[in-house]
Amino acid sequence: MPTQITRQVPAQPFPPDLAPSGSASVEAQAIEQAQNAQISDIVEHLLRRYTREQISLADLNRRVNGFYRQFDTAHVRNFVEILVESLVRRSISSFR
């Protein structure tokens, strides 16, 4: 009977976590700040397009935030700003 030679490979330990503790919350804060900045940019751009008589600042903020939050789970975020602005414009023109 031939002898089988088996080679045992030692289990590789998981690499230590190189990220400092709490980095997930720092990353989440950075993402939230970027999103808030993008929302502010959308609102500012739309304020230049519409007068206060056409839409109030509070209503504009509500619409932008509402449409923006619809894309919270989107994997591709490149065009969220454009899509939100387009949706807000359509919602404003449909109520005139």
- For residue 22, the model assigns a pLDDT of 59
Specify the higher pLDDT residue, 24 or 92.
92
Task: Indicate yes or no: pTM above 0.75.
Answer: no
Residue 52 lies in domain:
33-94
Provide the b/e sequence for 69-91 (b: ≥16 CB within 10 Å): eebeeeeeeeebbeebbebbeee
Predicted confidence (pLDDT) per residue in 45-94, tens digit: 999 999 999 999 999 999 999 999 999 999 898 999 999 999 999 999 88
Instruction: Note whether residue 55 is domain-resident.
Output: yes
42 belongs to a structural domain? yes
23 located within any domain: no
Q: Is the residue at 48 inside a domain?
A: yes
- How much is the pLDDT for 96? 59
pLDDT at position 2 is: 60
Domain total in the chain: 1
In a domain, 62, yes or no: yes
